[in-house]
């Protein structure tokens, strides 16, 4: 059964006017670069967030749309309140499209409380490139408590087809965020809102006379302005946050069309038409369909069950084709120029090309298969009202069987069949099907996601520990760790995710990682250390190995957006400590149960002869915890971390 067509309410505001001439910029901005008011100098921490170390006084943006170009002018002003705020201000970035955008009139400066202005010099600004986007990066000079920092720039663009969202919220507390759009008559936009109360969605409307045609009532300017105040921060370095942009109050514009008396240009299309264009490019790429059919038939020779065929094809593509560099978001651009025959010869392809090949191989053996485009969790939400492939950054294979469906990602050779990487656990996708392409909701695919660490610690009388660990990962846990393992040298993976976090010196003896026959990702590690146990007089103190939740991941006292674990999970640690034969008087870690709504920790200890077994389990029973649950969740993990540090104390027998 195919996942359902995406439906639901989307808040839109249509703005339609008609004019033919390019019009001058409005005098919208209330603030001027370098002009600081007495009220701004006197600002302190906001009443609803008194712990603020730095605040954004204002973030203003004005967008002028005419039939020549789009021009965006922006002014950001920040005040540093404490010493910690100096670090929080940190590095600033201005991002723009390398081909379509031009940054002009960039200025940035620090203003000290005595009025001294220290400019950001040109040699203190550098650029870094990511795909087709460029980031202009800079830091403010001589920042101290009480300083006001500001920067401004103008972005001139030809990209009518794609405007990036305006985020009202930022990583710092924002006192005022304003965006204003001035339309030349003839342009039709829609606007989608996220995390903005309905009463703030209606803009302030202003009409102005066109100074070039003051007597023509049909050539007036109309601007729309949205302003939000006192916005709590959304930091970009919080754990289990997903894409932080998905939590921020935002407004997404999309240019629909431009119309004159004699002509009309459409900038926004339908998902169906977009899908047809992509199919044409996919067909150009898949220029060796007969070879693909022969290859698929060879791989599935002697197999009759469709799902068994699918598993064979999946295993073949993910293991026989190496991953080449990701080609980015521009699917039509890439597939319209590349050809699959080169990838068939080289046995190497970008991840998305591997998945498109997987789709075609399924079709070749009679299995209904379709490419679907998704925006991964670190890429941000999809705006259903804005059909544009640039919202997506990954392609997957969607399969239909008589008794169900499956979605596959052949990117990672250690990923189990039918289990997506956690980064792809999203709800919306674009299914590509000739004349039927549409947004779909991806149904939940619950998996029992369990990590089990079985640790044997052999301790001698002097405190040296020989440790053997067997870790197994099932469900999305398996996919998550296999994804981290992909492309990483095995020794680095083992050190980074297992032994290094123990914070002890060690000697790594043996290690092995990979999928077992059941589809679980497994890791075997043998190492020794003299810092996991300590002999004090006749006492032997042992620190049980704990690889997970040794520390509380949640450092911030407050959080204004959800905690996103991506999927429910269970972590189980079974530590067997084999002690010297003459130990006595065991002081075991106390049996403990800690429980809150949605999470539970349980630990049990037992002893038999000279072997102590400590079994600890953390169950996270829900994927999402809202911000109201955060204080309890933070205290829960603080208690778990504290319990994980409990030691085993024993007494050695008489050594005389």
For residue 495, what is the DSSP state? I
Q: Mean pLDDT, the chain, as a whole number?
A: 87
Question: Is residue 8 one of the residues assigned to a domain?
Answer: no
Domain of 425: which CATH number? 3.10.620.30
Domain of 145: which CATH number? 2.60.40.3140
Angle between helices 306-320 and 351-364 (to 10 degrees): 150
pLDDT at res. 296: 97
| Residue 76 or 101, more confident | 76
Residue with tokens 């955008």: 101
Give residues with Cβ within 8 angstroms of 113, minimum separation 6. 41, 146, 147
Q: Which of 76-85, 313-322, 386-395 comes out lowest in average pLDDT?
A: 386-395
Which long-range contacts does 532-536 make (Cβ < 8 Å, 24+ apart)? 532/457, 532/459, 532/465, 532/467, 532/502, 532/504, 533/459, 533/463, 533/464, 533/465, 534/463, 535/461, 535/462, 535/463, 535/652
What tokens were used for 466?
């020989």
DSSP 381-404: ---TTS--GGG--EEEEEEEETTE
Instruction: Give me the number of domains the chain comprises.
Output: 3
pLDDT band, very low/low/confident/very high, at 214 (cuts 50, 70, 90): low
Alpha-carbon gap, residue 134 to 93, rounded angstroms: 10
pLDDT at res. 265: 79
Residues 301 and 242 in one domain: no
Residues 280 and 339 in one domain: yes
What tokens were used for 598?
């949605």
Question: Is residue 396 one of the residues assigned to a domain?
Answer: yes
> Angle CA(584)–CA(585)–CA(587) in degrees, nearest 5?
125
Residues 433 and 466 in one domain: no
Alpha-carbon gap, residue 543 to 577, rounded angstroms: 10
Question: Is residue 1 one of the residues assigned to a domain?
Answer: no
pLDDT at res. 507: 95
Model pLDDT for residues 90-100, shown as the tens digit of each residue: 889 998 877 78
Check whether 630 has a pLDDT greater than 70.
yes
Question: Is residue 4 one of the residues assigned to a domain?
Answer: no
Asked which of 236, 266, 296 is the last residue of a domain, the reply is: 266
Model pLDDT for residues 569-619, shown as the tens digit of each residue: 999 999 999 998 777 788 899 999 999 999 999 999 999 988 999 999 999
Q: Which domain range does residue 493 map to?
A: 450-652
Residue with tokens 């067509």: 5
Torsion sign (Cα): 209, 210, 211, 213:
negative
Q: Which of 113-117, 146-150, 210-214, 229-233 comes out lowest in average pLDDT?
A: 210-214
The rounded percent of the chain whose pLDDT value lies above 90 is 61
CB 168 within 8 A of CB 251: yes
Alpha-carbon gap, residue 439 to 436, rounded angstroms: 10
pLDDT band, very low/low/confident/very high, at 221 (cuts 50, 70, 90): confident
**Cα 573 from chain centre:** 28
pLDDT band, very low/low/confident/very high, at 517 (cuts 50, 70, 90): confident
Residues 459 and 436 in one domain: no
Q: Within a 13 Å sphere around the CA of 39, how many CA atoms are in the beta-carbon half?
A: 4
How do strand 173-183 and strand 539-542 relate by DSSP bridges?
A: unpaired
Domain of 467: which CATH number? 2.60.120.1130
Residues 239 and 324 in one domain: no
Residues 496 and 630 in one domain: yes
Alpha-carbon gap, residue 176 to 316, rounded angstroms: 55
Residues 203 and 182 in one domain: yes
Question: Is residue 7 one of the residues assigned to a domain?
Answer: no
Residue with tokens 């059909």: 387
What Cα–Cα distance (Å) separates residue 323 from each residue in 329, 335, 342, 351?
16, 16, 14, 6
| Residues 638-653, mean pLDDT to the nearest whole number | 90
The three-state DSSP-derived secondary structure of 420-434 is CCHHHCCCEEEECCC
Asked which of 266, 295, 316 is the last residue of a domain, the reply is: 266
Check whether 329 has a pLDDT greater than 70.
no
> Where do the DSSP E strands lie in 139-276?
148-157, 166-167, 173-183, 187-194, 204-208, 221-231, 250-259, 264-266
Question: Is residue 69 one of the residues assigned to a domain?
Answer: yes
Question: Is residue 423 one of the residues assigned to a domain?
Answer: yes
Residues facing residue 188 across a β-bridge: 16, 257
Query: Which three-class secondary structure state does DSSP give residue 254?
Result: strand
Q: Residue 543 region, left (φ>0) first, then alpha (ψ -120 to 50), else beta?
A: beta
CB 178 within 8 A of CB 58: yes
CB 618 within 8 A of CB 576: no
Residues 325 and 460 in one domain: no
Q: Within a 13 Å sphere around the CA of 182, how many CA atoms are in the beta-carbon half?
A: 26
Alpha-carbon gap, residue 157 to 151, rounded angstroms: 19
What Cα–Cα distance (Å) separates residue 71 from each residue in 166, 186, 189, 308, 495?
14, 17, 16, 55, 50
pLDDT at res. 23: 30
pLDDT at res. 218: 53
Q: Which of 68-77, 354-363, 385-394, 437-446 comes out lowest in average pLDDT?
A: 385-394
Residues 470 and 395 in one domain: no
Residues 242 and 334 in one domain: no
Check whether 112 has a pLDDT greater than 50.
yes
| Residues 164-180, mean pLDDT to the nearest whole number | 92
Q: Which of 83-87, 244-248, 553-557 comes out lowest in average pLDDT?
A: 244-248
* Nearest CA among 438, 398, 435, 437 for reference residue 418: 398
Question: Is residue 9 one of the residues assigned to a domain?
Answer: no
Check whether 238 has a pLDDT greater than 60.
yes
pLDDT at res. 219: 60
Residues 143 and 282 in one domain: no
> Angle CA(440)–CA(441)–CA(442) in degrees, nearest 5?
110
Residue with tokens 């991953």: 323
Query: Which three-class secondary structure state does DSSP give residue 411?
Result: coil
Q: Which of 16-30, 51-65, 162-176 comes out lowest in average pLDDT?
A: 16-30
Torsion sign (Cα): 555, 617, 508, 491:
negative
Query: Which three-class secondary structure state does DSSP give residue 634?
Result: helix
Check whether 21 has a pLDDT greater than 60.
no
Phi then psi dihedrals of residue 182, to 5 deg: -105, 120
Residue with tokens 């084999």: 578
The predicted model scores a pTM of: 0.82
Angle between helices 289-299 and 351-364 (to 10 degrees): 80
Asked which of 210, 234, 266 is the last residue of a domain, the reply is: 266
Residues 390 and 437 in one domain: yes
């Amino acid at each position: 059964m195919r996942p359902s067509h995406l439906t639901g309410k989307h808040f839109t505001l249509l703005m339609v006017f008609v004019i033919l001439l390019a019009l001058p910029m409005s005098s919208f901005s209330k603030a001027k670069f370098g002009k600081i008011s007495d009220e701004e100098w006197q600002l302190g921490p906001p009443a609803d967030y008194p712990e603020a170390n730095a605040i954004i006084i204002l973030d203003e943006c004005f967008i002028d749309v005419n039939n020549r170009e789009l021009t965006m002018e922006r002014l950001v002003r920040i005040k540093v309140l404490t010493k910690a705020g100096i670090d929080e201000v940190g590095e600033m970035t201005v991002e723009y499209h390398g081909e379509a955008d031009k940054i002009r009139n960039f200025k940035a400066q620090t203003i000290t409380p005595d009025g001294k202005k220290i400019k950001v010099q040109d040699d203190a600004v550098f650029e870094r490139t990511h795909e087709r986007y460029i980031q202009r990066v800079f830091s403010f000079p001589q920042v101290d408590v009480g300083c006001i920092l500001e920067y401004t720039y103008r972005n001139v663009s030809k990209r009518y087809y794609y405007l990036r969202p305006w985020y009202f919220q930022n990583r710092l507390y924002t006192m005022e965020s304003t965006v204003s759009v001035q339309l030349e008559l003839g342009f039709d936009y829609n606007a989608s809102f996220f995390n903005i109360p309905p009463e703030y969605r209606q803009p302030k409307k202003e009409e102005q006379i066109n100074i070039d045609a003051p007597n023509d009532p049909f050539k007036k300017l109309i601007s729309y302005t949205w302003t939000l105040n006192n916005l709590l921060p959304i930091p970009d370095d919080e754990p289990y946050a997903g894409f932080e942009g998905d939590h921020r109050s935002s407004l997404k514009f999309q240019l629909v069309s431009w119309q004159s008396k004699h002509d009309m240009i459409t900038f926004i299309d339908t998902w169906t038409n977009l899908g047809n264009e992509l199919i044409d490019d996919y067909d150009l790429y898949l220029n060796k369909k007969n070879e693909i059919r022969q290859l698929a038939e060879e791989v599935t020779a002697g197999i009759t069950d469709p799902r068994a065929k699918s598993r064979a094809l999946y295993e073949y593509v993910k293991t026989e084709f190496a991953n080449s560099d990701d080609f980015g978001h521009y699917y039509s651009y890439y597939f319209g120029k590349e050809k699959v025959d080169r990838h068939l010869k080289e046995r190497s392809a970008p991840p998305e090309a591997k998945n498109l090949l997987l789709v075609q191989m399924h079709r070749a053996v009679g299995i209904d298969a379709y490419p679907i485009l998704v925006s991964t969790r670190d890429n941000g939400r999809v705006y259903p009202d804005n059909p544009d492939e640039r919202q997506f950054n990954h392609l997957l294979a969607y399969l239909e069987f008589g008794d169900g469906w499956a979605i596959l990602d052949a990117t990672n050779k250690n990923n189990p069949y039918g289990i997506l990487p956690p980064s792809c656990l999203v709800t919306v996708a674009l299914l590509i099907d000739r004349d039927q392409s549409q947004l779909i909701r991806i149904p939940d695919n619950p998996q029992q996601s369990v990590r089990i660490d079985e640790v044997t610690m052999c301790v001698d009388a002097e405190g040296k520990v020989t440790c053997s660990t067997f870790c197994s990962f099932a469900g999305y846990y398996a996919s998550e760790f296999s994804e981290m393992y992909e492309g990483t040298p095995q020794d680095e993976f083992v050190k980074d995710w297992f032994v290094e976090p123990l914070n002890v010196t060690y000697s790594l003896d043996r290690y092995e990682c990979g999928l077992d026959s059941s589809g679980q990702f497994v890791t075997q590690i043998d190492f020794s250390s003299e810092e996991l146990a300590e002999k004090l007089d006749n006492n032997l103190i042992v620190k049980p190995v704990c690889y997970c939740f040794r520390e509380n991941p949640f450092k911030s006292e407050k959080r204004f957006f959800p905690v996103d674990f991506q999927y429910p999970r269970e972590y189980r640690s079974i530590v067997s400590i084999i002690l010297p034969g003459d130990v006595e008087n065991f002081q075991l870690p106390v049996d403990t149960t800690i429980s809150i709504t949605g999470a539970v920790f349980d630990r049990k200890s037992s002893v038999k002869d000279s072997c102590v077994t400590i079994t600890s389990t953390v169950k996270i029973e829900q994927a999402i915890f809202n911000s109201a649950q955060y204080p309890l969740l933070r205290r829960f993990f603080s208690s778990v971390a504290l319990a994980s540090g409990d030691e085993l104390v024993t007494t050695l027998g008489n050594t005389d």
